[in-house]
Amino acid sequence: MQQQGSWVGVDRLRFDFTHLSDVKDRELDRIEEIVNGYVIADLAVDKKEMSLQEARVQGALAFFAEKYEDKVRIVSIADISKEFCGGIHLDRTGFIGLFKILHESSVASGVRRIEALTGAAAYRQMKEDQAVLESVALTLKTTKDKIAAELEKRLKAVKDLEKQLGSQRLAGIAQGLDQLIAAGESHKDIKFICYRIDNADMDMLRKTADMIKQKVPKVLLALGSQVESKANLVICTNVAGFDAGAMIKEAAGEIGGSGGGRKDFAQAGGTKPDKLEAAFEKIKSIFKTAADKA
């Protein structure tokens, strides 16, 4: 790791450094702990001017391939840090008061950035965070130390309910399956079905496709859905000579996405759910062309 840049204000800072991956939460916690340990220790910040050669002999760190004069200013803190620097510094680390990391992010390939607050700004941020936790605890009717457990319990209940509702909806689709199949087109001896089931995730579309395949000896079907602002699309067939994976790649562009899969089943996602009908028409055209050649 090597420093790549920094900015220091009255109550906030950013620090850029080389790192090949994101810094994990536990590592950020450890950084906070170490820095605040130095703050609490109230270490002296020593500033000296010396020759460039002497500074290098003492092991002072220089960054960014900067050019330095023969006389340089070295800032050091005990045996923790010794750097070339011409900026203004506190006399003691204790003057920082408190160090609080806001977030860590990527600024370039292989370069990460940590942004943090100090002093009163860091304290205010911690109080705001505490207020949010208290509000969440009040909403969940629990205590702050039990928020995570309560959220986990409620999320499990939501997932169980979604699973139950999904099963009920799938059962409803199964009851109307014969009508859905009858509404499909026949081309030669192959049934072609396009059907839209909004608010159905990929799993529900796949299960519906499996049910239809079991009831129809030769079928090519396309099922689509809109979930919020996203489009889902699946193509499924049990007819030899047709390639669902190739078809989905051609049709996926209609819904502003991409997809892939096997010859018997393929899926795609996109950002244009309003174009599902256009995707169906595209698949219908591909199917009829392939069927005529078969």
| CATH number of domain containing 190 | 3.10.310.40
pLDDT for the residue 63: 57
Residue 134 belongs to some domain of the structure: no
pLDDT for the residue 98: 96
pLDDT for the residue 130: 94
Q: Which residues of the chain have pLDDT under 50?
A: 64-65
Residue 93 belongs to some domain of the structure: yes
pLDDT for the residue 82: 79
Same-domain status, 7 and 106: yes
pLDDT for the residue 269: 93
Same-domain status, 191 and 91: no
Residue 256 belongs to some domain of the structure: yes
Residue 260 belongs to some domain of the structure: yes
pLDDT for the residue 64: 46
Residue 143 belongs to some domain of the structure: no
DSSP per residue over 195-264, as a string? EE-TT--HHHHHHHHHHHHHH-SSEEEEEEEEETTEEEEEEEE--TT--HHHHHHHHGGGGTEEEEE-SS
- The CA-CA-CA angle for residues 114, 22, 129, to 5°, reads 50
pLDDT for the residue 88: 67
Element holding 277 (H helix, E strand):
helix 276-293
pLDDT for the residue 169: 86
- For the question of whether the overall pTM of this predicted structure is more than 0.75, the answer is no
- Range of 38's domain? 3-122
Report the phi/psi class of residue 199: left, alpha or beta, with left for phi > 0 and alpha for psi in -120 to 50: left
Number of domains in the chain: 2
Residue 109 belongs to some domain of the structure: yes
Domain boundary among 74, 99, 122: 122
Q: What is the CATH number of the domain that holds 118?
A: 3.30.980.10
pLDDT for the residue 90: 86
pLDDT for the residue 96: 93
Residue 135 belongs to some domain of the structure: no
